[in-house]
Structure 1
Amino acid sequence: MKRKFLLPFLLFGCAAFAQTIAPVQFASGFNGITEIVHAGTSRLYVVQQEGTVRMLEADGAIGEIPFLDITDVVNYNGERGLLGLAFHPQYVTNGYFYVYYTNSTGDNTVVRYTRSTANPDAADTTTALPILTIPHPGNTNHNGGCMRFGPDGYLYISSGDGGGSGDVNGNAQNIDVLLGKMLRIDVDVDVEYGIPGTNPFQSEDGADEVWAYGLRNAWKFSFGRSDGSMWIADVGQGVIEEINKVNPANAGLNFGWRCYEGNEVYNNAGCADSNTLTFPVAEYTHAEGGCSITGGYVYTGTAYPNLQGKYFFADYCSNKIGWVNSTTPGDITWTEDFEGNFTTFAEDVNGELYIAGGTNGVIYKITDSTAGMEQFAKSGISVYPNPAHNEVFIDLKNQAVTAQLTVFDLGGKRLIQQTIAPNVNSIDTSVFQAGIYLLEINASGNKIQQKLIIN
């Protein structure tokens, strides 16, 4: 059994780094965001719980019409609705993508659609192919709904325990049902789906689709790009939120719910020995204002070196973003609270991260507000004032070279590019809206970057 954590250190450790995380508004105007994914390009696809998917370009522009509109078949109320989206790894060539939604009977279903041949910016809704239905009787909550293609090419699907309090029906520990599980199926077959040969229960008692069990409501999971590790954020009952990190080669894991909530006993009547369970690598309690964990990703982008190797997540109630070291998880670092009731993260094709507020419909880009400051300090170049308003000065400190200055927005769009002289240069920033920008100076092929804040 994994060690239990000292929560005061989990909650308050490494506070200095926390203040460098700066969510910057990237796009707005959405409604009930439940998922954001990419399909191998710079475009993001934003899932709205009502039953639509909208396109978001790299410059923040939103597609005028939905990529997908299935509001006529989605049962949208409470925690129900369109909850998940996953593009096939060969989407560029086959046009396949998969959605997870609550249907008219209250069950959750996975359906495959195909990109329109007439319009590549839209789905062909006539191509709907039902793949898998997960019966969800009675309660309306704990639907799960996250889907990801793993490093093995199989489709992984998280399902909630069926709702209610304390998993009264014992679904999560029952390997014969699909609720409270991590499912794994093979969609590259001629029938709706196949069962991977290494699924743990495909040749014995238990549902063939089950890859792991003992989950309450895994609201977002992801695979690390660098090592393929699976990160699962499982929403707790009333006290503890947990983060699990596992090797996807280890099928058949039991994450412990309803026997344990995090590392603590919840109701272990009739449960397996604790030594057979997989316990979280990090957890936090509701004592700090949290109530529901939103899982994210390990940062693998290049824009913010300080964020490398950290797994980011958030809490829906506290509106705080947290992180743990991906190689030695345990201690949690928190930001201050923001706005938005965070419901999902996004990872773009370059590994940069975004986070969305489901209640305010805003998508933010996660940035490091200290990025580049050390580089500039070592170079001797000064940028002042920063934060700025109508004007910023760049002092090359009498270096006997001219340099190229470029200012980008956080979507990567170039806003200013000009040659600057060896001494002090004045840059007009009066036309910029308030926000965070990226300032780059290229002197003789050596590039350094720094955040530029406009008030």
Structure 2
Amino acid sequence: MKSALFVFLGLNMFTLVEAQTFPDGFERVPVATGISSPTVMAFAPDGRIFVAQQNGVLRVIKDGTLLTTPFITLSSVNSLGERGLIGIALDPDFSTNGYVYLYYTTSVAPIHNRIVRYTANGDVALVASEQSILELDNLSGATNHNGGALAFGLDGKLYVAVGDNANNAHPQNLDTYHGKFLRINKDGSAPTDNPFYSEAASEQRKRVWAYGLRNPYTFSIQPVTGKIFVNDVGQSSAEEINDATTGGKNFGWPNAEGNSTNPAYTNPVYAYLHSGPQPTGCAITGGTFFNPQITTYPAAYVGKYFFQDFCSPHWIYSLDLSGTPTPTLFGSNVGNSSVAITTGPDGNLYYLSRGAGALYKVVYTATNPPVITEHPQALSVLAGASVSFSVSASGTQPFSYQWIKDDVAINLANAATYSISSAQPSNAGLYRVRVSNSAGEVHSNTAELTVETVVGVEDRNSDFYPNPAKDWIYFSHPVVAVELKDYVGRSSYISIEQNNQQTRLDVQHLPKGLYFLSYEWQGVHYKKKVLISN
């Protein structure tokens, strides 16, 4: 991470006793101890926590207990300096396929970082199931700046953070993986919609999503929105939080550290310095969007970005993203050499302490009534489609839920999500949910469910045909300002072909369902429903 690598390694040799400082009502709780040089963690859908050790051992915490038998012990791991087992991601379909992806440094010559996949068999891996996903570029003698973070985006692609191998020539060179943020398919191949992809491009260039990074040790993907923040460890002056949601960005290293006036480089969302106004630090080693579905934390913390630094006083700050990013101290002396802060599925913050060899969580112990942080959204669907309303709330758990339709409680609708497998016109109405706990209750906003029945239209004298449509939608006259949105209001890409007599829209690639077609003809704007029946 830094030239002062001895700090990173040396602090693992002993544990400092520090008095943690958190806001009133918060406290640190140990989840597991006895973890040797932990680097990163991942939560399984069933509640298990996978924790990687730098030496190549992947541990499992189950029902609050660190299991004695590792998930896997990698046989050929180079763990010198910052090398080792430093990345883990579970497949989005882990519950059914059991795939676990790992990023580690192989000791087999030539030494390089690699991404592999194993299949889980209960709490252990099937060793023979190893699949090579991506072999990264060979490493020099430098043992630092390996990056290592892995995570799946909402698009189903695997994102990979790769350090520059302590070579300033790498980050601006698109034909090496070093100093890059990659986007790959599950099998390691390059998505053809990557920003630098072309058939003639190098294999490295095809997979690059963003570049100009030094040591992107961690990154976080925001639920629902898919926003991606990459935390890049700086050299001598600044630590960066970079927005890599959109591909193709150049974050400037080694020509820029922190903010730059050069328009060729994308400035960080937020950067803090090594000296000067607080916060100051030496190495950003974790960041997480705090958008849990449930949490006991006060609502003011939901939507914040929490980040941590490796060096004393071992702090955690929150970043308010509602306007100009503003940091607020959340905790200090939280743990010796802490890394990999993560939002847990239970709505608590988790992080690893390399110095203590421990996994901690930060819990809120005060009793608060529920506050809804995400309300159910209005839906418009075709008859027969499945629908689902959901709610997220903060406050003291456990919560009780009661879904209500048109002011009448729905029998057995007592979970955070309410689903209808085959919506009919009789299901249309106004839905809301009551969330309660021992301290009080709150009602969500009302969400309207509209259930449509679409009658086929084949009359060529109408504005467009056919409806339902399968491959093409035709207009018998030229139209402008054409836009097609799905039932939740997301714009859908469509190819438009037009001449003086006719306009047609290519919809054969769209999933079936109800869409809203808007267009303009002779100065009048129209919006109509259309069914895609692919």
What TM-score do the two structures reach when normalised by structure 1?
0.71
In structure 1, what is the Cα distance between the partners aligned to 2:25 and 2:300? 9
**Match runs of 1:32-181 below 5 Å:** 32-57=37-62, 59-70=63-74, 72-104=75-107, 105=109, 106-116=111-121, 120-134=122-136, 135-163=138-166, 167-168=167-168, 170-181=169-180
User: How big is the shift at 1:372?
Assistant: 2.8
Distance 1:48 1:411, change over 3 A: farther
* Cross-structure match for 1:303: 296
Bigger mean CA offset, 301-310 vs 325-334 = 325-334
In structure 2, what is the Cα distance between the partners aligned to 1:280 and 1:296? 14
> Does the Cα contact within 8 Å between 1:33 and 1:344 map onto a contact in 2?
no
User: How big is the shift at 1:328?
Assistant: 3.1
Q: What do residues 417-436 of structure 1 show as CA deviations (whole Å, max 9, x unaligned)?
A: xxxxxxxxxxxxxxxxxxxx
**Matched positions, count:** 345
User: How big is the shift at 1:411?
Assistant: 12
In structure 2, what is the Cα distance between the partners aligned to 1:127 and 1:366? 36
In structure 2, what is the Cα distance between the partners aligned to 1:230 and 1:144? 16
Q: What do residues 118-138 of structure 1 show as CA deviations (whole Å, max 9, x unaligned)?
A: xx1110112111121112223
Matched to 1:210, the amino acid is V
Matched to 1:47, the amino acid is A
| Structure 1 position 185 matched with structure 2 position 166 | no
| Structure 1 position 352 matched with structure 2 position 343 | no
Instruction: Kindly indicate which of the two structures has a greater share of residues assigned to strand.
Output: 2
User: How big is the shift at 1:228?
Assistant: 1.1
> Does the Cα contact within 8 Å between 2:289 and 2:343 map onto a contact in 1?
no
In structure 2, what is the Cα distance between the partners aligned to 1:371 and 1:329? 31
| Structure 1 position 276 matched with structure 2 position 264 | yes
Distance 1:341 1:17, change over 3 A: closer
Distance 1:181 1:329, change over 3 A: farther
* Cross-structure match for 2:377: none
| Structure 1 position 198 matched with structure 2 position 183 | no
In structure 2, what is the Cα distance between the partners aligned to 1:150 and 1:213? 18
Q: Give the greater-gyration-radius structure (CA).
A: 2
> Does the Cα contact within 8 Å between 1:41 and 1:349 map onto a contact in 2?
no
* Cross-structure match for 2:238: 240
Match of 1:327 among 317, 322, 327: 322
User: How big is the shift at 1:162?
Assistant: 1.0
In structure 2, what is the Cα distance between the partners aligned to 1:108 and 1:352? 32
Residue identity over aligned pairs, in percent, reads 37
In structure 1, what is the Cα distance between the partners aligned to 2:22 and 2:94? 38
Distance 1:103 1:314, change over 3 A: same
> Does the Cα contact within 8 Å between 1:282 and 1:332 map onto a contact in 2?
no
Distance 1:94 1:336, change over 3 A: closer
Q: What do residues 86-130 of structure 1 show as CA deviations (whole Å, max 9, x unaligned)?
A: 1111112122111000011331001111123xxx11101121111
User: How big is the shift at 1:236?
Assistant: 0.4
User: How big is the shift at 1:83?
Assistant: 0.4
In structure 2, what is the Cα distance between the partners aligned to 1:370 and 1:312? 21
Distance 1:42 1:328, change over 3 A: farther
| Structure 1 position 447 matched with structure 2 position 438 | yes
User: Which 4+ runs in 1 deviate beyond 4 A?
Assistant: 16-21
In structure 2, what is the Cα distance between the partners aligned to 1:185 and 1:40? 23
Bigger mean CA offset, 19-28 vs 209-218 = 19-28
Q: What do residues 152-187 of structure 1 show as CA deviations (whole Å, max 9, x unaligned)?
A: 001000000111xxx43x100111111000011112
Gaps of 5+ in 1: 1-15, 266-273, 376-409, 413-444, 450-455
User: How big is the shift at 1:230?
Assistant: 0.4
CA RMSD of aligned residues (A): 2.5
**Match runs of 1:374-389 below 5 Å:** none
In structure 2, what is the Cα distance between the partners aligned to 1:411 and 1:364? 20
In structure 2, what is the Cα distance between the partners aligned to 1:374 and 1:80? 44
- SS of 1:201's partner is coil
User: How big is the shift at 1:63?
Assistant: 1.3
Q: What do residues 60-88 of structure 1 show as CA deviations (whole Å, max 9, x unaligned)?
A: 21112111111x21111210100011111
In structure 1, what is the Cα distance between the partners aligned to 2:176 and 2:370? 54
In structure 2, what is the Cα distance between the partners aligned to 1:80 and 1:89? 26
In structure 2, what is the Cα distance between the partners aligned to 1:181 and 1:374? 42
What TM-score do the two structures reach when normalised by structure 2?
0.61
> Does the Cα contact within 8 Å between 1:18 and 1:333 map onto a contact in 2?
no
